[in-house]
């Protein structure tokens, strides 16, 4: 019996995902989801209390993965001065962004551009706030390891930097017309541009990992 219930719930989720991606939140009908999933409308509400709850559940894997992706910025691997110059960190950054967008592009389009009318509307700002918080924590963690680093960074600048990252992320999600080579080139240039700025702000010599007092 439990297997049957799980199957019905999953069928509703799969159908709802297809409908939300095709029509957005406002134009998706629970009646249509029920019909295409082969269940009664009332049965949909047995599993999900509202269309908004169903929408949030469809996007739960994305939001969980997105949080994990942003949190990984402060992992042990990244708490090193080598992040300012070593090629392997740049390659990892580019691969991670590309992979995330490729794996979740339809869901990301829903979350970032088609969530009006749901409790997830305006989620870009939440991502920016989260990214800013993670960035602040990262500066503190780096300062603990490398006391000579300058982390006197304006909170408003951190917000601007996070907003810039969100804009780039959104562009990757929205535009599929650029080929992989063009995307990699753009990300490499952004990474080089960004790292040069952070080296200057935090007073790090990238070549020898020396500090400027």
The answer to whether residues 69 and 61 touch, using CB atoms and an 8 Å cutoff, is no
pLDDT in tens, 86-129: 778 888 888 888 889 889 999 999 999 999 999 999 999 999 99
Whether the model clears a pTM of 0.85, i.e. scores above it, the answer is: yes
- Contact partners, residue 165, CB within 8 Å, separation at least 6: 131
Going from N- to C-terminal start, the domains of the chain cover: 1-49, 59-211
The answer to whether residues 27 and 38 touch, using CB atoms and an 8 Å cutoff, is no
Which CATH number is 1-49's, of 3.90.1150.10, 1.10.3720.10, 1.10.10.60, 3.20.20.140? 1.10.10.60
Q: Is pLDDT at 46 greater than 90 in this prediction?
A: yes
Please state, as a whole number, how many other Cβ atoms lie within 10 Å of the Cβ of residue 137.
Answer: 13
pLDDT in tens, 50-72: 999 999 999 999 999 999 999 99
């Amino acid at each position: 019996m439990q297997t049957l219930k799980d199957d019905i719930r999953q069928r509703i989720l799969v159908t709802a995902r297809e409908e939300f991606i095709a029509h957005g939140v406002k134009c998706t009908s629970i009646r249509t989801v029920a019909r295409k999933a082969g269940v009664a409308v009332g049965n949909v509400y047995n599993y999900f209390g509202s269309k908004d709850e169903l929408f949030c559940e469809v996007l739960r894997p994305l939001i969980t993965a997105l949080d994990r992706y942003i949190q990984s910025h402060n992992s042990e691997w990244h708490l090193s001065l080598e992040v300012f110059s070593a090629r392997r960190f740049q390659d990892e950054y580019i691969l991670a962004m590309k992979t995330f967008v490729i794996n979740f592009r339809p869901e990301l389009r829903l979350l970032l551009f088609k969530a009006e009318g749901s409790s997830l509307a305006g989620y870009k700002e939440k991502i920016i706030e989260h990214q800013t918080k993670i960035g602040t924590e990262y500066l503190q963690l780096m300062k603990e390891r490398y006391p000579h680093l300058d982390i006197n960074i304006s909170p408003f600048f951190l917000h601007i930097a996070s907003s810039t990252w969100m804009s780039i992320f959104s562009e990757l999600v929205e535009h599929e017309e650029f080929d992989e080579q063009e995307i990699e080139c753009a990300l490499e240039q952004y990474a080089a541009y960004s790292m040069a700025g952070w080296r200057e702000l935090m007073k790090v010599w990238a070549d020898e990992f020396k500090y400027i007092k």
